[in-house]
Amino acid sequence: MTRNEFVQTFDYSILKPTATAKDILVGCEVAKKHGFKLLMVQPCHLELAAITLKGSGVLTGAVLGFPHGTDLTEVKAFSAARLRALGADELDMVLDLGSFKAGDHAKVIADIAAVVKAADGAPVKVILETCELSTDEVVTACKLVQQAGAHFVKTSTGFASKGADAAHIKLMRDTVGPVMGVKASGGIRTLDQALAMLEAGANRIGVSAGEELLREWDARFA
């Protein structure tokens, strides 16, 4: 993997609720400087990020139903459509864990499918919050996400008790096959962690420490 290929796996994330418009503008400049794949922000910052990054080659993404996945389906669908209209290239939504745990798989599929439809062709990543799931539940959740027509399965919000785990990434990749996207996110702060996720089968990593990871890369491989 080259440095550029590594950088192109980055969903550079600014999702803290205390983030300001100034933080987003700084993040946009960081993303442009290094050529990250995408900048992921909260809905309230999406329009600013999209305008600032327009023409830069850096995609803009937003989360919805974040971080608990408990919004009504029609609210999630409205958010997806509105965020797309404001310039979102990709959307990361949270699995309805309550319905999933209750075994209401039809509701889970419908919830995701409504967002996929409203996203009108934009990639939709579904956050499973894997630390809350058993191995069997991770497999089942991945299959439901596939059935609903989403484009990625993703490990974590970064707001739960544990983030990405390489064993979960391998399990997710083995379940969804080689074509569907797998995103590792949550707690990826070192180069070794990031490389382990990619080796396990992730093709996108959500990181807030993007520059730190690149400094490690340059120190090791330059």
Catalytic residues: 92, 154, 183
- What is d(CA 103, CA 183) in angstroms, rounded to the nearest whole number? 24
**DSSP category for residue 81:** H
- What is d(CA 164, CA 44) in angstroms, rounded to the nearest whole number? 25
- What is d(CA 67, CA 13) in angstroms, rounded to the nearest whole number? 14
Determine how many CB atoms are found less than 10 A away from the CB of residue 110: 14
Write out the H or E segment, with its range, that includes residue 168: helix 166-176
- What is d(CA 217, CA 31) in angstroms, rounded to the nearest whole number? 16
Q: Is 123:90 a contact under the CB 8 Å cutoff?
A: yes
- What is d(CA 76, CA 142) in angstroms, rounded to the nearest whole number? 20
